[in-house]
């Protein structure tokens, strides 16, 4: 299997300091379901150039009881998909994701669901924007890209590990409605411009992938369906990551 294909299989190898810092921040914050680091591997030829990072990681290894080992660069390459890891990777445990319940949801919050993204990189890019916009959590279907956790973490700049993440149950929309949330879906049919919509919290935003969009059963339960108006005639959909970015920051702006 070539490396490009391997991004679609399960991966708990986290590449580069940005991803590793996100894991360590969760451990330092005492998050119950934080992913555990089992071992850090670093390119031994970079020991001098990476001495600051390695000094920090050695302190964290003592604090959180994981191994750290210098290895040949070929060993690093055998684990990695990308080339931007800087010679440092973490081999980690699986992370557990709780099922969504009424108790999971905070009062007057902002949550996002992404349905049907076809690629783990786009999924990660979307999570990066959602986290940066201040969302309180992400809701995912059972079928999602979190099995490719290392790739998603790198493309999200660590945000995927920092976001509160829940797996949807069959009645997830009713759960949000019971907490007083409005359900806002991104689609074209029967839509209003996002720039004219009521985006006040509490709000649950649902964004579909560019190929399949949002399922009809979910759209039928929306309080508002919003679209992103373009600056010129253009018949193609934005990527789900781009749409999620625009919508999430419109919600942020509306609640400042």
Q: Using CA atoms, how far apart are residues 38 and 90, in angstroms rounded to an integer?
A: 7
Half-sphere exposure of 28 (CA within 13 A, CB side): 12
What is the arithmetic mean of pLDDT over 201-209?
A: 94
Q: 3-state SS string over 101-123?
A: CHHHCCCCCEEEEEECCCCHHHH
Q: Using CA atoms, how far apart are residues 90 and 39, in angstroms rounded to an integer?
A: 6
Question: Is the pLDDT at 10 greater than 70, yes or no?
Answer: no
Q: Using CA atoms, how far apart are residues 86 and 159, in angstroms rounded to an integer?
A: 19
Question: Is the pLDDT at 104 greater than 90, yes or no?
Answer: yes
> With bands split at pLDDT 50, 70 and 90, how would you rate the model's confidence at 1?
very low
83-92, 174-183, 219-228: least confidently modelled range = 83-92
More reliable by pLDDT, 110 or 213? 110
> With bands split at pLDDT 50, 70 and 90, how would you rate the model's confidence at 5?
very low
Note the pLDDT of residue 60.
96
In the 8-state DSSP scheme, what is residue 213?
A: B
Note the pLDDT of residue 24.
95
The mean pLDDT of the chain is: 89
What is the arithmetic mean of pLDDT over 58-73?
A: 95
**Burial category of 55 from C-beta neighbours within 10 Å (exposed 0-12, middle 13-18, buried 19 and up):** exposed
Note the pLDDT of residue 31.
81
Token pair belonging to 222: 């929306």
Question: Is the pLDDT at 40 greater than 50, yes or no?
Answer: yes
Q: Which residues does residue 89 pair with via DSSP β-bridges, in sequence order?
A: 15, 41
Query: 3-92 adopts what CATH topology?
Result: 60s Ribosomal Protein L30; Chain: A; (3.30.1330)
Q: Using CA atoms, how far apart are residues 42 and 50, in angstroms rounded to an integer?
A: 9
- Which of 1-10, 82-91, 182-191, 232-241: highest mean pLDDT? 182-191
Question: Is the pLDDT at 199 greater than 60, yes or no?
Answer: yes
Q: Is residue 20 within 8 Å of 91, Cβ to Cβ?
A: no
Strand order in the sheet with 37-43: 13-15, 88-92, 37-43, 67-71
Structural domain boundaries in the chain: 3-92, 98-254
Question: Which CATH number, 3.40.1280.10, 3.40.30.10, 2.170.120.12, 3.40.50.300, labels domain 98-254?
Answer: 3.40.1280.10
């Amino acid at each position: 299997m070539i490396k490009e294909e391997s991004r679609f299989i399960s991966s708990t190898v986290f590449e580069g300091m940005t991803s590793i810092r996100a894991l360590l921040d969760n451990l330092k914050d005492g998050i119950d379901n934080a992913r555990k680091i089992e071992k850090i591997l670093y390119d031994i030829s970079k020991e001098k150039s990476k001495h600051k990072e390695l000094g920090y990681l050695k302190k964290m290894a003592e604090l959180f009881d994981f191994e750290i080992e210098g290895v040949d660069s070929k060993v690093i390459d055998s684990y990695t998909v990308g080339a931007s890891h800087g010679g440092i990777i973490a081999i980690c445990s699986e992370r557990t994701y709780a099922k969504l319940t009424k108790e999971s949801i905070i009062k007057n919050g902002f949550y996002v669901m992404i349905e049907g993204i076809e690629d783990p990189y786009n999924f990660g890019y979307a999570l990066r924007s959602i986290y940066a916009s201040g969302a309180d959590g992400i809701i995912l279907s059972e079928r999602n890209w979190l099995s490719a956790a290392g790739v998603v973490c790198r493309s999200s700049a660590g945000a995927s590990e920092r976001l509160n993440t829940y797996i949807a149950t069959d009645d997830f929309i009713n759960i949000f409605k019971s907490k007083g949330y409005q359900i806002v879906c991104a689609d074209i049919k029967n839509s209003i411009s996002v720039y004219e919509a009521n985006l006040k919290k509490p709000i649950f935003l649902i964004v579909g992938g560019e190929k399949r969009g949002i399922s009809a059963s979910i759209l039928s339960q929306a309080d508002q369906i919003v679209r992103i108006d373009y600056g010129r005639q253009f018949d193609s959909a934005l990527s789900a990551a781009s749409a999620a970015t625009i919508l999430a920051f419109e919600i942020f702006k509306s609640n400042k």
